[in-house]
Structure 1
Amino acid sequence: MDPTLLRTLVQVESNSIAHHEHTLPAAPERVVSRTYPAVPQQDPIELQSLRLSRNETAPSPSAPATPREETDLEMSAPATPAEPADAVDALPTLNNPPKNKFRLASCCFQNFLSGLIDSAAGALIPHMEIHYNIGYAVVSLLFIGNALGYIMAAPFVDQMRQRLGRARAMALSQALIAAAFAPFVSAAPFPAVAVGYFFIGFGCAVQLAICNVFCANLRRGTTMLGAMHGSYGVGGTLGPLVATALVAAGAPWNYYYFLTLAIALFNLAFSSWSFAHYEAEQADAAQAGSDPSAAAAAGADFPSRSPAVQQMSAMLVAFSSRVVLLGAIFIFAYQGAEVSISGWVISFLIAARDGDPSTVGYVTSGFWGGITLGRFLLSPVGARVGEKLFVYVLVVGAAVFQLLVWWVPNIVGEAVSVAVVGLLLGPVWPCAAVVFMRNLSRREQVSGLSVVSAFGSSGGAVAPFTTGILAQAAGTFVLHPIAIALFAVMVLCWFGLPGSIKRRTE
């Protein structure tokens, strides 16, 4: 190429570049914000902080730092992964700690004894009336004494657990129950027997509240509670069988209570051993965990030396809880219906159906056998279906079969219907206890369950006592409208209870 032509081309290209060269744009003037009274105002977004977080370059020391507010996007991001919204407590299992399996067995044996005590009353009441020459109204004082024991125990259960620990509290409850059998085995005058039922109620209230809290806080709590309360049904099934067999063989009615005394002494030793060092194990597990809030919540469950004022304050908090109040009325109606049916259905069959006292006593065993099967077989179904819906179905079904017991004038058909009523009522307590525990904090659990148990036992006394008074005046058929009315109260209370809340780490 000609050098002159090349020089001309380079000169033209250079002039073109110089002609199109632009300088960097100047910074725009600050925009004046406009305020509109009808529009909500927001803080300006600091783009500098967003640019820094994107480019990951720190400002120079001489540059002024942009103020960081809590509303900044960068400040709102957590430094560590957040806990999932549905996170729940890590629950102990049946095998971890290894001693839990023996603790569950201890709870089952204690409930088994309660079933033996409660169910035998229906079969032994006719013989006690003959022995003491008393009527329905006077013998119903046994239920009142039992209820007073539960009610008196409610304010003290949590204090006993905190001051004595679970092992000693359970040992004390079994010692009270064993001592209460002294008037029974000696066939003492009837007032002494009624006082004995008071101490039985006090001891059973302590063991029931502690056992419910322990089982509900295990993994698969509904199944564990079903096993525990199913053991109550086993005792309820065997109690009338043994009692009826003894009196049919000519033995005095009080010989039955030698059996319950022996089991109470066994429970005294077994519960003391199985729950020994329970609080220390839970404290170690809480300290080993990574969540400090869980450790603090677990520590609140151990024995403490808090003042009595704080303990009574916890009880007042439990009384002010809607879950506790509705749950207490629910269990009041449930246990009232359960004990009324088991305690008076034999008298109904004898008076209204001309049943043989030596054979109809086994109908109560069928009722408690249904409760046992229901708690073992149907409680896991409630966990899968949902406790809230499942209880509705159970209570309505129990009311229908209770109507059949009332309207079908056939002892065999009534015996089958009574057994079905027990089958449907069986899972109600375990399912209800799980719903209560989900909606109570750790600090409220023992005191709240104590209140619920106390009201339940008072229902198990007031309803049978009322049935006895009305039966004395009108006839034993009053059992059925009373039971159906109690089922209606259960449905209303259950409607007001929340069922979907999961208790989170506190």
Structure 2
Amino acid sequence: MSSISNGVVTPIQDDAPRSPDSADDSHLAGPTVEQAQTIWNPYKNRFRVLSSCLTVFGNGCNDSAPGALLASIEKHYSIGYGTVAILFVCNAAGFVVAAFFINALAVKLGRAKTLIIAEALLMLGYLSIILTPPFPAVAASFFVLGIGMAIHLAIGQVFCSNLANNTAILGLYQGSYGIGGIAGPLIATTIVSRGFLWSRYYILQLCLAAFNLVFSTWSFWNYELESELDHVASQQEGSERTGARAKRSWNAFKRLVSNKPTVLGACFIFAYQGAEVAISGWIISFLVQFRRGDPTKVGFVTSGFWAGITVGRFTLSFLGHKIGERLFVFLVTFGALILELLIWFVPSIPGDSVAVAFSGLLLGPIYPCAVHIFNRLIPKKMQVSSLSLIASVGSSGGAIAPFITGILAQREGTYVLHPICITLFIAMGVCWWLLPRVEKKREE
């Protein structure tokens, strides 16, 4: 739920003297002088980029498939909307828990061994679901999956962000997630429509995780030895006293939560991912309940939504940069709100399906445009931590909004999806309006 954080962090020259307070944040600032690696040098970086794209492709498949499987899960366990919505919460809870130890784990073990843990957790979760255990065990498996996905998402995100020409590489990385978002519902709907048990979809996810276990471990093996900077940073981290490190982390956290762009950005992405995951997870149930759609056919609507998001990120992001991200985000958010009203009040499955796809098209470029603005409003030495906090809060939105939708749908019906999403779009607009304006000199 994952929906993805797309911050671009590049090393900078900084010879200015630091105050005692700023020294507390020195671990966030990155290197002072460093030659960025490229996708071609060292040689294994090309495989590391591919590995990162494959793992985030798996995340996309995992995040988008439940929308096509919810009806089958409800029928199999004889449960309602409110109960099945727990899956979204458990998955996001895994992301939140993982945020507390990912960095320490990567520093202690290195990227390759940390990725082994991530993929092993994914394999454990998928294997448990394939066995079709009681529903509480399925919910626990989604929690385990959340931890595994959060770990390799963080490692792949940071790796791609710090390569030279990172804009193009991050575009490939984001696109891989979108392609997974398209493929997941297509495959899941096909499996269910042919009479197979819903849990059999996760056999494919298990195979992908097994492949990534081998490929990502091989590609990232000895990564720290090839990056003198990371090696030195790891040594410094290991040599620090525990008390001093804890104090410094607490001071850095206080600065994060007092930074206006970080707080507003977190609220904005919370609402954005909440709307995105709620639409992806519940639109099919709405079409089945209120439009009398055939679950074996309308399941493909979710793929249309993710296809819109993917195309929007590849195409409209450039338009946003041309006319200005601040105005552009207002326009596409308003457009998504209008489309949500059309889906709610126009009783036509073909019309609703097209509107859902166009809604994804407008929502797609919002995240990249938002991060572009965040990178200019947040001090460079805080960007890594700030964007990580924003992504974690966003993941919570991707759990809370679908969960509330499920709880209310249990009593009122799945039409509640639309007022919830409209409220989230309005909240996005308010948070975006409250963000400070980017200074022109910082946009150059």
TM-score, normalised with respect to structure 2: 0.83
Identity %: 49
Contact in 2 for aligned 1:327/1:452 (Cα 8 Å)? yes
**Displacement of 1:403 after TM fit?**
1.8
**Mapped pair 1:478 → 2:416:** yes
Q: Does 1:304 align with 2:242?
A: no
User: Match for 2:313 among 350, 354, 375?
Assistant: 375
Aligned residue number for residue 130 of structure 1 = 75
Rounded to whole Å, the distance in 2 between the matches of 1:451 and 1:92 is 26
Alignment of 1:80-229 (within 5 A): 91-229=36-174
CA 1:494–1:210 in 2, change beyond 3 Å: closer, same or farther?
farther
CA change 1:210–1:441 in 2 (3 A) is farther
SS in 2 for 1:187: coil
> In 2, are the aligned partners of 1:279 and 1:303 still within 8 Å (CA)?
no
Equivalent position SS for 1:155 = coil
Post-superposition CA distance 1:160-185 (Å, at most 9, x none): 23222233223322221221112211
Q: Compared with structure 1, are the counterparts of its residues 113 and 374 closer, same or farther at alpha carbon in structure 2 (3 Å cutoff)? A: same
Cα distance per residue 1:201-256 (max 9 Å; x no partner): 11222222333333333344443323212211111111111111111111111110
Once the two structures are superposed, residues 12-46 of structure 1 have per-residue CA deviations (whole angstroms, 9 ceiling, x without a partner) of xxxxxxxxxxxxxxxxxxxxxxxxxxxxxxxxxxx
Take 2:412 and 2:328, find their aligned partners in 1: how far apart are those partners? Answer: 36
Distance change in 2, residues 1:501/1:109 (3 Å): farther
- For the residue of structure 2 that corresponds to 1:231, the secondary structure is helix
Ranked by relative contact order (alpha carbons within 8 Å, sequence separation 6 or more), the top structure is: 2
Q: CA deviation at 1:329?
A: 1.6
2:338 to 400, 403, 408: 400
CA drift at 1:436: 3.6
Distance 1:273 1:445, change over 3 A: farther
Which SS does the other structure have where 2:341 is aligned? helix
Alignment of 1:256-405 (within 5 A): 256-283=201-228, 300=233, 304-305=237-238, 306-309=240-243, 310=245, 312-313=249-250, 314-405=252-343
Deviation at 1:145, TM superposition (A): 0.6
* CA contact 1:212–1:433 (8 Å) conserved in 2: no
The change in CA–CA distance for 1:121 and 1:373 in structure 2 (over 3 A counts) is same
The residue identity in structure 2 corresponding to 1:476 is: T
Query: Do the aligned partners of residues 449 and 502 (structure 1) sit closer, same or farther apart at CA in structure 2, a change above 3 Å counting?
Result: farther
Aligned partners of 1:467 and 1:428: how far apart in 2? 22
* 1:33-62 Cα distance to aligned partner (Å, 9 max, x none): xxxxxxxxxxxxxxxxxxxxxxxxxxxxxx
Aligned position for 2:355? 417
Q: Secondary structure at the match of 2:75?
A: helix
The whole-number CA distance in structure 1 between the counterparts of 2:218 and 2:320 is 33
Deviations 1:476-499 (A, max 9, x none): 111111111111222222334457
Corresponding letter in the other structure for 2:96? I
Between the aligned partners of 2:116 and 2:255, the Cα distance in structure 1 is 27
Q: Which amino acid aligns with 2:143?
A: F
User: Counterpart amino acid of 1:200?
Assistant: L
In 1: Cα distance, 2:432 partner to 2:221 partner:
37
Q: Post-superposition shift, 1:448?
A: 3.2
Change (3 A) 1:240 1:163: same
Structure 1 residues 171 and 380 mapped into 2: Cα distance closer, same or farther (>3 Å)?
farther
- Structure 2: which amino acid aligns with 1:450? S
SS at match of 1:359: helix
Q: What amino acid is aligned across from residue 137 of structure 1 in structure 2?
A: G
Aligned match of 1:81:
none
Q: CA 1:397–1:96 in 2, change beyond 3 Å: closer, same or farther?
A: farther
Alpha carbons of structure 1 residues 263 and 127: separation in structure 2 relative to 1, 3 Å: same
Q: CA deviation at 1:500?
A: 4.1
Give the structure 1 partner of residue 394 of structure 2.
456
Aligned amino acid, residue 237 of structure 2: S
Alignment of 1:432 onto 2:370: yes
Cα pair distance change 1:444/1:277, threshold 3 Å = farther
One-letter amino acid of the structure 2 residue matched with residue 430 of structure 1: P
Unmatched 5+ stretches in structure 1: 1-86, 287-297
How far apart, CA to CA, are the structure 2 residues paired with 1:303 and 1:503? 35
User: Hey, what's the Cα distance between the residues in 2 that align with 1:136 and 1:98?
Assistant: 49
* Residue range with higher mean Cα deviation, 352-361 or 266-275: 266-275
Residue 320 of structure 1, CA deviation: 4.0
1:93-149: CA deviations, max 9, x gaps?
Answer: 433444333222222111111111111101111001111110001101101111211
Q: Whose Rg is larger?
A: 1
Q: Per-residue deviation at 1:410?
A: 0.9
CA 1:118–1:97: 2 relative to 1, 3 Å? same
Q: Conserved in 2, the CA contact under 8 Å of 1:438 and 1:503?
A: no
**Cα distance in structure 1, aligned partners of 2:154 and 2:257:** 15
Does structure 2 retain, via aligned residues, the 8 Å contact 1:146–1:457? no
Distance 1:89 1:489, change over 3 A: farther
Query: What SS does structure 1 have at the residue aligned with 2:195?
Result: coil
Q: How far off its partner does 1:322 sit? A: 3.1
Name the CA distance, whole Å, in 1 between partners of 2:241 and 2:428. Answer: 37
Residues 493 and 267 (structure 1), Cα distance of their counterparts in 2 relative to 1, 3 Å cut: farther
Q: Give the secondary-structure state (helix, strand or coil) at the position aligned to 2:237.
A: coil
Tell me the SS of whatever aligns to 1:121: helix
**SS state at 1:304 partner:** helix
Whether the 8 Å CA contact 1:210–1:446 is kept in 2: the answer is: no
Q: For residue 431 of structure 1, report the CA deviation from its aligned partner.
A: 3.0
TM superposition score normalised by structure 1: 0.73
- Say whether the 8 Å CA contact 1:223–1:380 is kept in structure 2: no
Unpaired runs of 5+ in structure 2? 1-31
